[in-house]
Structure 1
């Protein structure tokens, strides 16, 4: 990818692009292109696509700013700004807890709420499965570095 392509794709100025070249960030541009080919969308903190709820609900402008700098997304990224409820819980959940989770997820899904969860066994996986089985939408948050 040449400088003009980087400037267009990442919205950087020529001066910023020259600074990037000095930092030898080519490996990151290569990773970006690889992920793009695989259908992974990269949304940065300063992207207009960055979820408003993360800007609103996480600490901003202090040393404790906990917003993720980069989101790696696959699927329908438009739902990132829909009404959303997070469901998380024990990996060793009781049968009663799993039934309760399924009920809550199904009700929220019926109201058009997107379910956000991890994908760990137990409550998180039950929330995801119930959302999908109810023909709803779900966001799975995986905390991982490349």
Structure 2
């Protein structure tokens, strides 16, 4: 048979030094399941090193079976590179994961995604921005993907979940390991409503080297990466760098020049990232998807029914202009503006009024 079983795919995962690029090259020469029946010399003739050939000849099948049993008991799914459920986007990145261990709704891997990342030590304002952007992106049928770290990641996942949408968390641990512990409740909310994924074997504990590595998956799954707050040397900038290497869009929210958490965003803006103030800035860039795309991105936000709001933007507009645009008597325009001001939908400023952004 040419089709790998999960057992065989997991055995290949356990072979140190055997990556996707090597397996793709081998697949051109021999059906991959046949690797396990080749003798040592045949494997070496295929171009494998002596060490890898030796590992393939001495697979620890008991370990393989224990991992599969653990996944079955915990309700974890395993998706291998050639599986139809494997996300196409990841096949195009450098060094894609051979296996994905999943907990939750794997159908979400097919949805168009935007990654939202940033500092673990985010400000209150940064957390609010991440939450609001994630909520609005979700309402626009874009799935929010992040890394479930404390700070911006957690706020983004929560924003998506709070509007009853899914979200994907890419972990730097085994998919069954909750890290950080403060996100225990968030972990189970995502498992129930979204999807948790990891390339690491179940039970793998947190290690500093794992998190930069998982960032290539976060950016690889996504149409673009939104950076909310980050210092100049941070893991979030690694995600943004991966996105640039993968020809993905990079969005950055500017901040105060006196705030260290703005430095990463400002650095990316200097490098050509899109300055992002509203969700519409992101939608404008990702709406270039071809007409035959599988994705249809539509905003679910209700359209304004009030003529005043329809004719008032975020720039200053005077009352006379609103009277002209709405064709209402000036008294009616003033009365409606007062109502809208009390509802925090508009604000009176010098020389007129402005519409307030949705919160």
> What residue in structure 2 maps to residue 125 of structure 1?
154
1:84 deviates by: 0.6
- Which residue in the other structure is 2:166 paired with? 137
Alignment pair present for 1:45 and 2:74? no
1:55 equivalent in alignment to 2:94:
no
Calculate the aligned-residue CA RMSD, in Å. Answer: 2.3
Asked if residue 24 in structure 1 is aligned to residue 49 in structure 2, the reply is no
Out of 5, 10, 19, which is 2:6 matched to? 10
Q: Any gaps of 5 or more consecutive residues in structure 1? A: 1-6, 60-64
Distance 2:5 2:81 in 1: 15
**Distance (whole Å) between structure 1 residues aligned to residue 7 and residue 107 of structure 2:** 21
1:91 is aligned to 120
The DSSP-based 3-state class of the residue aligned with 1:87 is strand
Residue 62 of structure 1 aligns with which residue? none
- The number of aligned residues is 133
Query: Which whole-Å deviations, capped at 9, do the CAs of 1:33-88 have from their partners, x for residues lacking one?
Result: 221221100111222211111123x12xxxxx2x1121110110010111111111
With a CA cutoff of 8 Å and minimum separation of 6, indicate the structure with the bigger relative contact order. 1
Structure 1 residue 102 displacement after superposition: 1.2
Question: What is the TM-score normalised by the length of structure 1?
Answer: 0.79
CA distance in 2, matches of 1:125, 1:143: 14
Contact 2:7 2:64 (8 Å CA) reproduced: no
Structure 2 distance, partners of 1:38, 1:108, is: 31
State which structure, 1 or 2, has the greater radius of gyration over its C-alpha atoms. Answer: 2
8 Å CA contact retained: 1:53, 1:81: no
Structure 2: segments with no counterpart, 5+ residues: 9-30, 39-55, 174-199, 205-359
Deviations 1:80-124 (A, max 9, x none): 111111111101111111111111101111011111111111000
